[in-house]
């Protein structure tokens, strides 16, 4: 700014100076030339008079200091010269002023010296006798004049530079000062230059726009955060270099960090190779998924690249809790394996014996035994299929079954009576205690609850063990408890024994029999009655199952 102002001022100053100098010099030079010429004319008239009157003697007393006087004869030969010897001088007939004087009576001309430093003004007059008197004076030429003025010119230039620099710095400071003092936060409050008001107005509107956009952005950001922080799934936004741009609450909780990791590298949060590989794939523009195990369970991580113009500009990582899903998946797989196994075993037996029979390879006396085996196995299968049907019926909600007031004690009594022979066979004493307890429920299902519990209590008992069935009324519920002195259930299996086909001891299931569905049916039937099941068991000592049915009002 200062530099430009300086340059402008300097150029103007120098320009004005040069122009005025040129003007003065030409005008003055012209003026002085004219003055010189007029003087010359006056002098020559005097000299002509003198020569005419006195002849050659005129020159004797003449003292010519600042001019040169020459007397030229008719033929152009020099008769007298005030500077040089007349005899040494050449013929002057051809000189312009002489020629002119001879022709017109008076002539003038000017010539420059060989070095151009001087200018000679000549003036000639014809005398009555036909000779010519010539006067000449020397003037400094313009060049010499200019040269002589060089020093003051340089001084003036230097002064111009100093002055313009000073003025320029002052001026620019003065111009810039109000600009620097502009309050850009309140553009319209300024009273600097009027010329600036369009700019200030523009700034004002733009500032308003920026403020608005910022607010919108903040709003959107908080909206996004509100949405993502409430999510159970974890979300992490990364730039392609792996720097965290955003991480929601679920994700930071999972990785054991806080929201301050925004701006840091994902590696500093989790450096597992699975995640690194996942992000690498996403960085290459591919969608990638992986299941990772954290302390709190299994999580599925899906990384997808965010692209714009075929370029990856970010990565979104979505984290889903798949612990339950994996568990359910495993249960489903186990169920399928179990159900096929349970169905296959009796079928193999049946088909094997039936094949032997049909080939006629069985002795007559064995046929009965073989048929009996086929019969039992078929019976087992029927039991199994019935149980499965019952279970799926319960799954559906058993809506076609009617609820009615039932006395649980009577039901239990019936079951105990039915199971008595079985118990006697295995050497287990079974007894029923308690009182009549009426509740509203589905009799068939209640019976299967009691039956299955008692059946298990007898089956998984030891020799000379006992089973005690109790039915009693409580304030708001009817409680059924089946306590045995059997083998007990190890801690790690307690949670799973109500699963379909789950068996604690898989290797001996065949000997003990049963379908593996009993407790599952109990669980579902109890759920239909909103009953709670409580299981207490000590390995080697026995098991106590308590079912609490709520009394319906």
The site for other proteins (CB under 8 A) is made up of 242, 265, 267-268, 271-273, 276
Give the H or E element holding residue 387: helix 367-396
Cβ atoms within 10 Å of 433's Cβ, excluding its own: 12
Of 269 and 312, which CB lies nearer to other proteins in the complex structure?
269
Of 271 and 344, which CB lies nearer to other proteins in the complex structure?
271
The distance of closest approach from Cβ of residue 378 to other proteins in the complex, given in angstroms and rounded to an integer, is: 44
Beta partners for residue 305, in sequence order: 315
Of 265 and 495, which CB lies nearer to other proteins in the complex structure?
265
- Evaluated on CA atoms 415, 418, 423, 424, the torsion sign reads positive
The distance of closest approach from Cβ of residue 236 to other proteins in the complex, given in angstroms and rounded to an integer, is: 17
Q: Is 270 helix (H, G, I), strand (E, B) or coil?
A: coil
The distance of closest approach from Cβ of residue 279 to other proteins in the complex, given in angstroms and rounded to an integer, is: 11
The distance of closest approach from Cβ of residue 271 to other proteins in the complex, given in angstroms and rounded to an integer, is: 4
The distance of closest approach from Cβ of residue 267 to other proteins in the complex, given in angstroms and rounded to an integer, is: 4
The distance of closest approach from Cβ of residue 273 to other proteins in the complex, given in angstroms and rounded to an integer, is: 6
The distance of closest approach from Cβ of residue 434 to other proteins in the complex, given in angstroms and rounded to an integer, is: 49
Of 242 and 488, which CB lies nearer to other proteins in the complex structure?
242
Is the CB of residue 282 less than 8 Å from the CB of residue 267? no
Of 218 and 268, which CB lies nearer to other proteins in the complex structure?
268
Radius of gyration of the chain (CA): 65
Q: What is the DSSP letter of 185?
A: T
Q: Token match 């009027």: residue?
A: 194
Cβ atoms within 10 Å of 391's Cβ, excluding its own: 18
Q: Is 182 helix (H, G, I), strand (E, B) or coil?
A: coil
Of 273 and 308, which CB lies nearer to other proteins in the complex structure?
273
Residue 74: phi, psi to the nearest 5? -60, -35
The distance of closest approach from Cβ of residue 258 to other proteins in the complex, given in angstroms and rounded to an integer, is: 12
The rounded distance, in Å, linking the Cα atoms of 357 and 371 is: 9
Of 63 and 260, which CB lies nearer to other proteins in the complex structure?
260
First to last CA, the chain: 96
The rounded distance, in Å, linking the Cα atoms of 140 and 142 is: 7
Contacts for 508 with CB less than 8 Å, ≥ 6 apart: none
Of 222 and 280, which CB lies nearer to other proteins in the complex structure?
280
The distance of closest approach from Cβ of residue 312 to other proteins in the complex, given in angstroms and rounded to an integer, is: 18
Of 52 and 243, which CB lies nearer to other proteins in the complex structure?
243
Q: Is 418 helix (H, G, I), strand (E, B) or coil?
A: helix
The DSSP-derived string for 194-257 is GGGHHHHHHHHHHHHHHHHHHHHHHHHHHHHHHHHHT-SSEEEEE-TT-BEEEE-HHHHHHHT-
């Amino acid at each position: 700014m200062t530099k430009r102002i300086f340059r402008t001022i300097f150029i103007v100053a120098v320009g004005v100076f040069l122009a005025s100098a040129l003007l003065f010099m030409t005008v003055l030079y012209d003026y002085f030339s004219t003055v010189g010429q007029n003087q010359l004319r006056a002098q020559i008239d005097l000299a002509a008079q003198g020569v005419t009157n006195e002849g050659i003697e005129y020159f004797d007393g003449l003292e010519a200091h600042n001019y040169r006087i020459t007397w030229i004869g008719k033929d152009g030969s020099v008769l007298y010269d005030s500077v040089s010897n007349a005899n040494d001088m050449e013929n002057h007939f051809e000189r312009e002023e002489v020629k002119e004087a001879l022709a017109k009576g008076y002539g003038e001309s000017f010539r420059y010296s060989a070095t151009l430093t001087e200018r000679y003004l000549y003036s000639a007059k014809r005398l009555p006798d036909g000779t010519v008197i010539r006067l000449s004076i020397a003037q400094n030429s313009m060049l010499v004049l200019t040269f002589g003025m060089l020093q003051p010119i340089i001084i003036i230039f230097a002064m111009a530079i100093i002055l313009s620099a000073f003025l320029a710095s002052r001026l620019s400071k003065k111009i810039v000062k109000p600009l620097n003092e502009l309050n850009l936060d309140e553009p319209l409050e300024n009273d600097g230059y009027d010329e600036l008001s369009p700019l200030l107005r523009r700034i004002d509107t733009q500032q308003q726009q920026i403020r608005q956009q910022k607010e919108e952005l903040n709003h959107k950001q908080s909206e996004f955060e509100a949405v993502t922080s409430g999510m159970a799934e974890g979300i992490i936004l990364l730039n392609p270099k792996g720097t965290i741009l955003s991480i929601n609450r679920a994700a930071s909780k999972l990785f054991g960090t806080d929201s301050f990791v925004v701006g840091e590298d994902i590696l500093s949060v989790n450096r597992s190779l699975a995640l690194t590989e996942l992000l690498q794939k996403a960085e290459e523009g591919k969608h990638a998924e992986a299941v990772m195990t954290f302390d709190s369970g299994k999580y599925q991580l899906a990384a997808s690249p965010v692209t714009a113009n075929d370029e990856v500009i970010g990565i979104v990582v979505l984290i889903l809790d798949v612990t339950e899903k994996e568990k359910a998946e495993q249960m489903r797989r186990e169920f399928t394996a179990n159900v096929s196994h349970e169905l296959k075993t009796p079928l193999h037996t049946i088909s094997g014996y039936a094949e032997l029979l049909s080939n006629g390879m069985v002795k007559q006396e064995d046929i009965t035994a073989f048929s009996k085996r086929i019969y039992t196995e078929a019976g087992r299968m029927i039991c199994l299929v019935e149980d499965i049907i019952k279970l799926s019926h319960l799954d559906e909600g058993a809506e076609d079954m009617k609820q009615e007031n039932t006395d649980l004690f009577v039901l239990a009594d019936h079951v105990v009576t039915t199971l008595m022979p079985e118990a006697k066979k295995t050497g287990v004493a079974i007894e029923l205690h308690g009182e009549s307890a009426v509740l509203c429920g589905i009799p068939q299902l209640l019976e299967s609850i009691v039956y299955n519990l008692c059946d298990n209590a007898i089956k998984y008992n030891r020799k000379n063990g006992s089973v005690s069935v109790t039915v009693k009324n409580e304030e708001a519920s009817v409680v059924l408890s089946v306590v045995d002195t059997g083998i007990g259930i190890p801690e790690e299996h307690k949670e799973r024994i109500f699963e379909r086909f789950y068996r604690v001891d898989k290797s001996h299931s065949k000997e003990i029999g049963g379908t593996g569905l009993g407790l599952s049916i109990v669980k579902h039937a109890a759920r239909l009655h909103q009953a709670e099941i409580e299981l207490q068991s000590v390995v080697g000592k026995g098991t106590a199952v308590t079912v609490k049915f709520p009394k319906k009002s």
